[in-house]
Chain A
Amino acid sequence: MEEREYRSASGAPIALRRRQYSASCRELVVRCPRLQLRSLSAATSAVWLAAYGLFVLCENSMVLSAAIFITLIGLIIYLHFVKIDHESLLVIGSLGIQVTSSYASGKESTTFIEMGHVKDVVINEAIHMQKVIYYLCILLQDPGDPQGVSEVVPLFQSSKPRLDCLIEVYKSCQEILEQRKTAPQPS
C-alpha cells in the first residue's frame, strides 16, 4: 500500500492511495482537498455581515436568528450532499468495477459495474467550463455489441486529478483489465 501527493486540476493538493489485495484486485482511493477553514470563515462572515446590514435597515432581530439558522443548516447540507471526502475505485478482475464516493458527513454512494459491461478504462480529454481537462472514464459496452460504446462513466469528478495521477490510475487498471484477454471467458 502506498500513498502519494498530487494536485487537482484547480491546484489543490490531493492524495492517491493504492492497495493491492490480490493479483487481480486493486483499490485506488483519491482523497479530495479538505474544507478550508478560511473559506468557511469567509462564507459565515459574509452571511452574518449581510444579515447585520439588513437588521440595521429594518430593525427586526429575527433577521439575525434567521442568519444563524441558515448558516448552520447550509453547512450541514453542504457537508452531507456536496462536499466529497474521498473517491475510490475498486477493480476486481473478472467480477467488475466498484466506484464509491464518500461525503464529508460519512455518507457513501456506490456504483457497481460488472465486467461484462466494461469495455475499457481510458483517459479522455473534454471541454469543461472554459477549460480542457483530462479525466478518467469507464467505457461501457452492450454485451450484444462489443464494438460500440454504449455509455461513458466519468470517474473522480470532484477531485479532478491532473494527468500524472490519472496515468498512475490508468496503468493500474490496465494491468488488471489485460488479464481479461488471457483468462478463459465464462460462457
Chain B
Amino acid sequence: TQRTSSSRFACCRSPVSYSMRVLACVRFAAHKGFGQVRLASTSSQKKYVDLREDRAIYTTDPINYDEPKFDKILIANRGEIACRVIKTARAMGIKTVAVHSDVDSNSLHVRLADEAVCVGPAPTNQSYLRVDKILQAVKDTGAQAVHPGYGFLSENTHFAADLEKIGVKFVGPNSKAILDMGDKINSKKIAAAAKINMIPGFDGEIADEDMCVKVANDIGYPVMIKASAGGGGKGMRIAWNDKEAREGYSLSKQEAASSFGDDRMLVEKFIDNPRHIEMQVLCDKHGNSLWLNERECSIQRRNQKVIEEAPSSFVTPEMRRAMGEQSVQLARAVGYDSAGTVEFLVDGKRNFYFLEMNTRLQVEHPITESITGIDIVQQMLRVSYGHKLNISQKEVPLQGWAFESRVYAEDPYKGFGLPSVGRLSKYVEPNHITGVRCDSGIREGSEISIYYDPLICKLVTHGKDRATALARMRDALDGYVIRGVTHNIPLLRDICQEQRFNEGRITTKYLPEVYPEGFQGATLTQEEEETVLSMAAALNARKIARSKQFKNQSRQQSTYVDPYKMTFKFVTEIPVEDRESKKVAVAVSFHNGDEKEARVTINGKTVSISGDMNLAQPIIDLKANGKEVTTQIVSKKAGEITVVYKGTNFKVKVLPEHAVDYVKHMKPKPKLDLSSVVLSPMPGAIKSVAVKVGDMVSEGQQLIVIEAMKMQNGLHAAKTGKVKNVTVKEGQTVDEGELLVELE
C-alpha cells in the first residue's frame, strides 16, 4: 500500500503519534479486506472494480477500456463528492489520490483512494483551500490531473492556472471560462452579448452599503444582494428595504470573504415567486457541446437546495429545447470545455432568465445521470484528457424521473434547518429499496463537525415516472436510519407527501408558503395518530412481555404466567409542548400468544399490529390492519418510547393504566425563562459579541453572531433589558443550548 502520509505534511499537533496511528490504520485496513479491493483495481487487467453508486444505469456511453486515459488523478475535495469521483475513476482504471485534513484521516474518501495526503488541520482555509499544499501533493504523487469536485477550489482560477503551469490537467473548464463565468458581473455581460434572456439588475460591483442602498432603490425592492464569487446560498441575502439592504450587504460581504476569499458584491432585481430551473451542459475541447436536460431545484431554504428533481414538471419540450439551446450558446460563447450548469429563474409564465453559470460539477448532478444514463464524472475525465464527446444531442435520452433529497445534519424545526453536529452512532442507508442511490461520504461512526458542510447524503431515487420516483423516495426516507445527529428527514419526508409538491406546484417560496409557522413535524390524521399510538403500545407491550422472558431463572416458577397471554392496559399520549395533550387508553393483547400478532384496542376500534416486533433492529416493518408501515425505535425508556412515523419522531408516553391517575399529582418542573437568556441554537464558533455586561439592549437587537458551517447567524435579544452576564468571547466554540448572554 503506497500511502504517503509523510511527516512533511505533518499537520497535527503531535506528528509523532500521528504517523504511528496512520500505520495502525493501514494495518487495520488491510485486515478488513480493503487490501483486496485495492489489488484488484491496480492490476493491469481491464476488469476494474466498479463501485459507482447505481452503476447499472450508465448505459448511454459506457466506459471504453481501450481508450487512453489518465494514469492517476488527485481529488482536491472531501466527503461524498470525493468518494463519487474516486468511484468513477477506479471504474475507469485510474489510480486516485485523496487529500485530507488531519481530522479526516480516517474518513471514507481517504479509505477509498489508492493514496492519501494530509494537507493540514481541520479548518478549510488551512487544508482543503491551501493551493500550495495541494500543488505539492500533486507533484509528490505524480498525479496527471486534479478533479476539484464542487466548492473549495472548483472555481478558483488561480488554482486551475497554477496546475496548467506545471502541466497538470484541471478536470473542469479552462481557467478563462471559469474566470468569465465564475464572476457574476462579468458573466452577465457575456451572457447578454450571447443573447441569453437576462434579469434586470445593476451591471457592476457594489462598492459599499450606501451604494447598495442606492442601486437597490434604482432597481426597486425586493433586491438580491450576492457575492460575485458566491454560490450555494452563501454570501447571499434578499432585502426588502433600506435597513435590510445595509445589514444584508455587510453580512454577505463578511461571509463571502471567509467562504470564497473574494468579497465583491452585486445587486439585482429579485423575482418574487420564481422557480429555479437549471440546465446541465457538457462540452469537449473540440467544440462539441450538449445539453443534458434540466433540473428543477425550487425547493430551497435560505437559497440552499433541499429537494431537486429531473426533469421539471413545469418545463414543456419546447421550453426545454429553448433553455438547452441558449445554454449551449452561452457555453460556446465562453469556449466552455467541461461539464457545467446554466441556472435560470423561471416565472409563472414560463419565461426564463439567466441567473449564473456554475463552472463545475453540481451537487445535484446524480439526478441528471439517472435520467440520461450518462456518467458525468466519466465524461469530465474523458474530455479533460482530450477526447471528443461520443454522443450527439439526439442520443441524449430522457428516461423516467429522478428526485434528490439532500439529507443534512440539521434541525428542520429551526428555520427549516440549523446545522447540528455529532457522531453517527448508527447509520444505515436504504439501499435495499429498488431505484435508490445514496451518494455519501460518511459511514457509521463518522463525525459531523463544525468545520465542514453538514451534508450526510444525497438520497436519489429514480422511477419510470414522477409518482413512482416519489413513492420510492418516501420508502427510502422511511428506511433511512440515522442516529447521533439531528437530521432533516422529518422535513424531507413531509414534503414528499405534501399535496402541492406531489402536484408539482412549487416555487422557491414553497417552504415558507407551505409551512408559514416553520416546520412543526408531520401532522397526523385521526387514523394515522391511532396507528402511531397502536404501534408504540404494541412495541411497549412486547418490551414489557420480554422483560419476563428469562432463560436461567428457574426458581419460583410454578406460578409463572406467559406474558404473551396477558392483556396490557396502557394510557398513551403524544405530548405537545405548551398545551394539554390527548390521553388515549389502549389495551394490547397478543393473538393466540403469538408475539408477532398484537391486537390493540383503541378508541373502541381494534388495530392489528403484526410483524416481527424486534426491539433491536434499526428498521421495523409492520402491518397496521394489513397496511404496511415502516417504523424505527429511536429510544425506549421506562414509560416512554420514541418511534419514527413518516419521517417524524414521535415521543409517545406509554404508562400503565393505573399510573395515569398518579401522574396528575406530579409537579411540573420550573422552566428556564427563555426571554431573559440567549442560548446557542447550534454548535459553532462565536464570530462577534456586540454587548458587554451592564449594556442596555432593546428587544430584537443583535447581541451575538455565531458561525457554523460557514453560515453566520445573528442572535437577538428577546426583550429589552440590561445585560447581566456574557459567558462567551469572540472565537470561542460553543455547544448547542449553551448559555451565551443573560439579561436582567
Does A associate with B in a complex?
no
